[in-house]
Amino acid sequence: MKIRFAGLEDAEDLFRWRTDPATMKFSLSEEKIELGSHLKWFRESLANKKRVIMIAELDGEKAGMVRFDETDDKSSVISIAVSPEMRGKGIGTELLGLGCSTYLKNWKNKTILATIKKINVISIKLFTRCGFKTRSEDDEKIVMGLDDEKTRD
């Protein structure tokens, strides 16, 4: 798997992955997204220094995305999606591991946080397998975190 920064040429794939029914169901915001507002959001995202979007490619084919949003000087929030037709083949596991290690190596933040709906059991399994630990939870959501190894006690 290769991982690279997203560019404008990825706008439509990201839109397709973001609006697929499973992603919508498990997203924290289930609001319908139009292509126009997505393109505006994506252009702004590419210029946003506190946001990093990476694309995974397998044999030259786009397989998924991982996004990091810096929330303060210590932590960033992650979001991940695999191309719908490529799910369930271990791509999410590889992408999450590679994305987090690349991010922690190159940016100053030390903790990556994910907020996951409890009904999204595949994601909870995925983040657990990649070393994320539960930080807090309520009836609907669970917050999981991964600390940079260098800063772990």
Ligand X SMILES: CC(C)(COP(=O)(O)OP(=O)(O)OC[C@H]1O[C@@H](n2cnc3c(N)ncnc32)[C@H](O)[C@@H]1OP(=O)(O)O)[C@@H](O)C(=O)NCCC(=O)NCCS
Closest separation in Å from C-beta 153 to ligand X: 26
**Residues lying near ligand X in the complex (CB under 6 A):** 22-23, 26, 80-82, 87-93, 114, 116, 120, 122-123, 125-126, 129
Instruction: Between 46 and 122, name the residue whose CB sits nearer to ligand X.
Output: 122
Instruction: Between 108 and 118, name the residue whose CB sits nearer to ligand X.
Output: 118
Residue with the shortest CB distance to ligand X = 92
Instruction: Between 21 and 150, name the residue whose CB sits nearer to ligand X.
Output: 21
Pair 24, 117: CB distance under 8 Å: no
